[in-house]
Structure 1
Amino acid sequence: MAELLEKDSIISDINEKINTVKILLYKEAPHILEKIDFDDDEIFCNPLLFAYFRHKVINTFKPEDEKVLLEEFMQGYYVEKPALKLDLLYNEEGIAYVPSVGYFKKGEDTPFAPTVKVKDSSIKILRCSTPFLKVILDIPAEDQLWDDKLYNDRIDQLNNAMDLIRKNVPDQYKLIDQCCEYIYMFNTDPTNSNSFASGNALGLAFFNVYQEEYNEIFFIDDIAHQTGHVIMNNLMFSKPTFYKIDQTQSVEEILGRPDHRNVNILIHALYTYYTTFYCLDECVAANSFEGKQYKEALARIGFYQRKCNIDLQILDVVIKHYGGLENMLTKKGLDVVNSIKNKFEEINKKWGDIINAYDFSNQSYNFSFKLFEELNP
C-alpha cells in the first residue's frame, strides 16, 4: 500500500491528529504550550496524551485530579527541565512513566529505568501500565506488573521481527514507524484480552505474548496485525475522508445472522489480513526462514487466508446492501479495500496449493503452531 505514502494521505491524517491534540491541550492547559517545543510533533503524537483526553471524555478521572495528571505527564517534554513533581501519575504498583525521562518508583527522585526503543527504530517500548490506560488495558492488575523476565525473554524476538520487516517490507515498515509510537508487551490469559490496538490510545500497539512457543514469526504476525489497526485508525482519523456511510452500521443487521462487528471493524479486520500477508510473504520470499520457522510462516498465512476469505464474502454482502463499494467508501477507502482484495488473490495464487492442504480444525482465535503441528506433521 505504498500509494498511501506517495499521495501523502497518511501524512495528512497524522497532521490532523497532531493539530487536534494541540487544540485540546491549548483548551485544557495553555500554559503547558509555553513550556514545550510546539514544533515537536512527537509530543502531540504520544498515544498516552491522546488517551488522557479520551479518558476525560468518559470521565475516568476525578475533576480535581485531571490537570495534575496532565502536568505531571508533560514534565518530560518541558524545554527547561524542572525538578520533577510526581504524585498522581503512579500506577497501582507505584511506578510512574514520564516520557523522554523514564520510569520512577514512588519516593525516588531519579529514574530506575530509561525509555527504551525498538532497536534501530523510533518506536518506544512501554514497560508498565499508566493511569491513562485505566479502561483501555482491561486485564488483571497482576498481569500489568513490571516484568523484567517477560521483557528479557521477548525483546530480542521483537527486535529481530521488526528488523526483518524493515529490511524486507520497507514501505510497510515506514507506515508502521510513522503511525506507531509505542509497543506494550504483556502476558495474560487470552480470555482476559488478546493482542489489540485501541483508537483511544492512538499510536499504541498491545501484544499479549502468553504462548511459550512464540518467536520472531509470531512477532512479525502481531506487529503487522496490531500496527495495521494503528495505521487504519490514523487513516480514519476523520471518518468522512474514508467512509460515505455510517461506519457503525451493524454487520449482523445486514447479514441477517450473528456477527458482533460493525462495518468499520470488518474493514479493520480485512486490512490486518493484508498487512499480515504482506509482511510474512515478503519475509518468506527473502529466504528469511528455514525449517520450522518457514513452516510456521506459511501456516500463519494459511490461517489468515481462511479468515480473510470468509470476511471478503461478508463484505460482498455488505457491498450489495449499499449498491456498490463506491457508495460506501471515498477514493481513499476504495484504494485500501482494492489493495486488500488484490493481496488476497496474490496469496491464493502463490501459496494456494500448499496452504489449502493444511488442517486448521483444532485452532482457536489465536494461532498456535504447536496445535498446527499436531494435525500437520
Structure 2
Amino acid sequence: MKASTATLIASAVVLASSIYAHPILLKRATIVTDALACFVPILLNPLGANQKIISDCQAKLAQDVGLVKDTTVASLQFDLTGASPKIATNDISVDLMSFPGITSIPVSRTKLNDGTTSVGSFASAWLATTSKGFSLDMSLSVTPLTITAEQTPAFVALLSALTTTTSHSITLVGTVDADITFSVAGALNAITSPFGGIVPATALKVIPMIGLAISTPLTLKGFNNFGGVVQGHLDSISSPQVSATGERLIHGQFTINSPSDLLVAMGDIDFQLWTKDAQPVYMGIASVANMNLAPGAKTYDAILKVDAAVQIDNYFPAKAGWTLRVNGFAGSSKNPISAKAVAGLQFDLVF
C-alpha cells in the first residue's frame, strides 16, 4: 500500500487535531503531526525506509506523542527481601495509538531503557513481544528496581497503598527501543537451490526504532487489608510452650484470601496482636517466616510470643469465635521497606 506524502501528512494532521484540539495544545499537536508524518510512511512502505528516514523519525519520536495509550500489568511481582527491591511480571498488555491507513504495528521485541516513575526506575532486557493489531503482549523477567533516597518515600507510599486499598495508580515514564519486523513479498517469491529444487523464500525487514518516548498510566490492584477479616487457628494446647529464653509461645496458622493479583515477597514479618475488648489488651507478637503474599487463599504458619503481662489462662485455649486485631507496626520487619509497607496494615483475625 502506498500513499502520497501530502495525503499522509493530511491524515496525521486530522488525527493529531482530533487528539489535541484545544488551542493550548496546538504546539503539542504540531509535534504529533510531525511524528506521524514520518512514522506512517515507514509503516506503509518499510522497503523504502532507509537509515536517514528512520533516524529522522526517531528524533521526532524522542518526544512523547502518545504512542502508548494504556498499559495493563497483571501478576506483578515485588521481591523486597534483598538489599534492593526487584520486580517481574509475565503479563504486560500495551495499547498503542492507531495510525491512518495502518491495520497493525508488527512489533517483534521491545526494551524499556529507563522506565521511571516517582517511585523508582528500572531498565529491562529485550522482551519478546506478541503483536495483535495495535496491542502488544510481553513479559518482564526479574529486574532490579533502583530507588533513590528521594524516591524512597513515594515507593513506600505505593506499597502501603497497595497493602491497605483496593487499587493504586502510578504513571510509567521512559523510553523504549522497538524492533518492527515486516514480512516482505519480494519480486521473486522463490529461489533456486544448488540442487535444482525450488525453495520458498520469505524476506524480513526489521526496522529498529530507538529511544521512543512513552508515558502511560498504570493501575495496580491492592490487597485492601485482606478484606478486613482473616481466618485463623491456634493449636489446641492447654498452656503455651516456654522457650529457653522464657518466652511463652503458641503455634498457629492463619489463612489470607488475597483479592490482588500481586505477588510480594516480604521476608520475615511480625504483627502486633490486640484483643477487641472495650479496653484492648496487648497480647504479643505474631511472627511469620518468609511471608510471600500471593493471589487467592494461602495459609501461613505463625508463632505467637505472648506478652509477659498477659494473664494467659484468661485467653488460652482460645474459644471458637474469638477475634483479635492484627496491626502492622514500624518494627514489623528488619527490612525498612517491608516494615513501612505493612506498618499501616490492619485486619481482624477470627478463630
Q: Could you say which structure has the higher strand fraction?
A: 2
**Fold match by TM threshold 0.5:** no
Q: Which has the higher contact order (CA 8 A, sep 6+)?
A: 2
TM-score, normalized by length of structure 1?
Answer: 0.24
TM-score, normalized by length of structure 2?
Answer: 0.25
Q: Which is greater in Rg? A: 2
Q: Could you say which structure has the higher helix fraction?
A: 1
